[in-house]
Structures are given as C-alpha cells and as structure tokens.
Structure 1
Amino acid sequence: WSEERYGSLDGYAQDVIDICEELDLRDVTFVGHSVSAMAGVLAAARAEERFARLVLLVPSPRYIDDGDYKGGFTAEDIDELLESLDSNYLGWSATMAPIIIGNPERPELGEELTNSFCRTDPDIARVFARTTFLTDSRAELASVRLPTLVLECAQDVIAPQGVGAYVHASIPGSRLVTLDATGHCPQLSAPEATAEAIVTFAAPPR
C-alpha cells in the first residue's frame, strides 16, 4: 500500500485489472459497492475485454453537490467529516457507521460496520476517505459500454436516489432498480433482495 497509489481511484481500478490479468479472468461480472462501483467503471473502461457486465451497488461518482447535481453533501459537510476523521478516527467510526447503515431499529448492523472500520489502519482510512469523498468520476460514466445494473436504496443519506438516477442516465442502456431498503449498505440490511436483483441481472439464461 502507498499513499501515492491510492490517492485516487486509479490505484484501485488498477488493482482490479491486475487481478484479472494475473488470473486471466474474462467474462467478469464486477460487483462494486459505493465508491468501489466507480473503481469498477474505471477498470472496465481500461480493460473492457476482461468484463462482461457491471453491477453498481449504491454508486456515487461524486459526493459533493455541484449545481443541479445533488451528491448528498455540501463541500462544508465533507470538510467537517474529514476533519472529524483526522482528529478522532475511532469516534468518527462509532458516529458514522450507524448513519451509513441507516437502520436504527437494527443496531447490530451499525455495530458490525463500526467494528469493520475500527479494524482498519487509521492512516490508510484517512487516505481512502479523502479519495472517496473528494473524487469526481462523473465524466467516466459515459464511457461504459457494458450491460450495467444500477442498484439504489429507497432511503440512503450517503447516495440519495437522485444519484442513482444520474448514474443510470449517464450510462447508455443501463438498468436502474430501486431496492426497498434503507441505508447505504443493502448487502447488510437487505441481503436477500440485493442478491436476487444481482442474480436476476447477471445469471446466464438457461
């Protein structure tokens, strides 16, 4: 790991390509969650021959509002979030995880995500957070030529529904599915519905 490599999504996209090349993978269905969905978009644009389709789970090409584009956060929101993370990573994790999960009646989900955050090296987490929240990958979406499924949640404060609609409108021929789920991690809060949507889209016809 190096801060220089992972200071942009390019490093993560190259990781995906490196794995595909090392294992000589083809006809890949890439499933990416949140900002990782955008890493998959970048990887597919650079090595399209390796990929068959993309599944973008609550993707966000930009988290900061920009004119008519509503990413969910103001620039001031993101500055405060990053400052909080820099000053007290464990406290930030305990505060943010329940917000990200968005299911207060199921506190065990927030605890699971908090524990995951707390197992991460804080220095690496800080770089990842800046890469995530300050990136703008909107221009990359139009380059996607693969069958693409965009999955959004009915309620998600991290990637609101308008973001899913934007991604869908920006990728020619993509399919948009709104899950009856709350929060930014439907793979945790609504795993059956999430899996069903992915399998329906990605499973080869019999």
Structure 2
Amino acid sequence: MANILQSLNRTVAVGVILTIILLGIMAAAYNLSFDIDFWRTISRYLHVISGVMWIGLLWYFNFVQIPNMPNIPDEQKPAIGKVIAPAALFWFRWAALATLITGLLTLVLYYGHERSISALTFTLISDYSDPQALTIGIGMWLAIIMAYNVWMIIWPNQKRALGIVEADADTKAKSARTAMLFSRTNTMLSVPMLFAMVAAQNLS
C-alpha cells in the first residue's frame, strides 16, 4: 500500500480502478445498461470531479495562500511564485474548463435540447414556468462568468505577476492585484453558484 501511496499517479490509478470495480458491482446488482441514465451518471460524476478540483483550488488560493503570503519570509516566497502557484494554476484553469464542458454536457443529457435552451435563457423564451431550469440556468451562468474570469483575466494577469511572461515591476504588481480581485470575485460568486446547483436538484 505504501508503494501505491508514495506515487500520485499510482494513487489516482488505483482510485479509478476501484471506481470501475464499484461500477461493475452496481451493474451486476442492478442490471445496469449503457442507456441514457448511465451516461447521465458518468457525465455528472465527471462534472463533480472537475468542480471539486476547480472550486477546491479557488478556495485554497483565497483561504490559504493569499492570506498567508505576508507571513512568508521574502527569501522563501519564490518557492510559492515559481513552483507551487504555477502548478496549482495549471490544474485550476483546466479544471474550470472541464467543469464548464461537463456541466453543459450534463445539462443536455438531463434536460434535453428544449429545456437546456430554457435554462440558459432563464426560461425567457419558453412557454412554461420551469423553476428547476431557471435555477440551474442561474447557477450555470455564474459558473460561465467564473470560468471566463479564470481564462481571460486571472490567468493572463498571473502569467505577468509570476514572471511567466516578461513584465516590468509596476505591471507585475498591478497584474497581481487584478488577479487577486477577480479570484475574490469568483470566490464570492461560487457561494450562490453552488447553492443554485444544489437547489435545482430539489425543485420540480
């Protein structure tokens, strides 16, 4: 077991194998078939996995890294800026994109074409009242705004702030502040976004 846990790749691989075994047991016990319900489950699972990675890293930045940066001695800060932050930002931005894509896929698989359009337009162009579609639509638009912030604002500014691309000291400082403010914006939006996602599952 120690041999597995000493390697992240092996740890994740065993986690995937255990999930496949669990899926096989469920398939045998409940006569599961590769129908729409199966693909809905897989899509939602991938959406949750991606979302946990994305929001987990967002909250890590805002609850752990940013508040504690002033407490780190100057000679130790390069370890954060040159090693930890770029690695975290890699998973952060791609998890945001994966969450968005799997979320849209899950929406279509569960709601179909018409209700998906209804959700994304806040039911404004539909002929019926649909509180579930309205709620999930609000959650999705909040997530879309957050993903836009990640790719179009936070990441470009972080590249300058961390020295991944050339920038003078003034630009680095401004970029670091901009990235922080939009990261805080995403943290703020994540609270109602998650509520909307959960609430939509309990509305009919």
- Aligning the two structures, in what range does the TM-score lie when normalised by the shorter sequence? under 0.3
Structure with larger Rg:
2
Q: Which has the higher strand share?
A: 1
Flag the structure with more relative contact order, 1 or 2, with Cα contacts below 8 A and sequence separation at least 6: 1
Q: Which has the higher helix share?
A: 2
Q: TM-score, normalised by structure 1?
A: 0.28
Q: TM-score, normalised by structure 2?
A: 0.28
